[in-house]
Amino acid sequence: MTTEATTIVAGIEIPSTNPVFLTVVGVHVLLGLACVVTGAIAMLSEKRAGRHPRNGTIYFWCLAGVFLTATGLAAVRWAEDYHLFILGTLSFAAACFGREARRRRWRHWVRLHITGMGSSYVLLLIAFYVDNGKSLPLWRDLPPVAYWLLPAAVGIPLIVRALLWHPLVRQ
């Protein structure tokens, strides 16, 4: 889609005035926010029946929606957004991997689950900052490479910490 018209929402420029495109963006944003919240709740919850698996499942299905909407959005603006499609594909693939490791109880499933789901969350955040960092306070003052590196620089050590210290991994 090549258009000169844009819509500004909360200081973020959306490169369209098309109502269908804007609706898909709105659904995408709501699903992304749900991912951030439910993913954080799942990560911070005790790993037992209840809160962790419930929020992890919500995270997974909201991420599936984010992936689908991101695919559609990238398809109509491929030249500008193909990298976001790649990040979305990697994020959803990592979540599928982490979920299947848990569901099928693969050998070392806890490590695989933590790595897959943690990587999925980090990639989700990278995609958000790569797409929106230039419009966000504080982030807009950083060089664009920081949009890629800062979420990874925070997330990867947390994943490694979980892999080394989580009680289910240490058993």
At 119, list the tokens. 């990587």
Query: Taking CA 126 as the corner, what is the angle to CA 136 and CA 106, rounded to the nearest 5 degrees?
Result: 150
- Residue 73 domain-assigned (yes or no): yes
- The Cα–Cα gap between 119 and 95 comes to 8
Residue 121: inside a domain: yes
Alpha-carbon torsion (46, 117, 31, 141), positive or negative: positive
pLDDT above 80: residue 11? no
Q: How far apart are CA 100 and CA 137, in angstroms?
A: 38
Q: What are phi and psi of 137, to 5 degrees?
A: -55, 150
Please give the distance of CA 156 from its chain centroid, rounded to a whole number.
14
* pTM flag (> 0.85): yes
Maximum CA extent, the chain: 58
pLDDT in tens, 29-71: 999 999 999 999 999 999 899 999 999 999 999 999 999 999 9
> In angstroms, what is the C-alpha Rg of the chain?
17
pLDDT digits (tens, 9 = 90+) for 106-156: 999 999 999 999 999 999 999 999 999 999 999 999 999 999 999 999 999
One-letter amino acid for residue 167 of the chain: P
In a domain, 1, yes or no: no
* Containing structural domain, residue 46: 7-170
Query: Could you tell me the pLDDT band of residue 72, with boundaries at 50, 70 and 90?
Result: very high
Q: Is residue 155 part of a domain?
A: yes
**What's the token pair of residue 112?**
């695989």
Q: For residue 2, is it within any domain?
A: no
Q: Is residue 119 part of a domain?
A: yes
Give the Cα-Cα-Cα angle 133, 137, 141 (nearest 5 degrees): 70
Domain count, the chain: 1
Torsion of CA 156, 162, 163, 168, to 10 degrees: -160
Q: Could you give the CA distance from residue 127 to residue 38 in angstroms, rounded to a whole number? A: 17
Query: What's the pLDDT at 1?
Result: 43
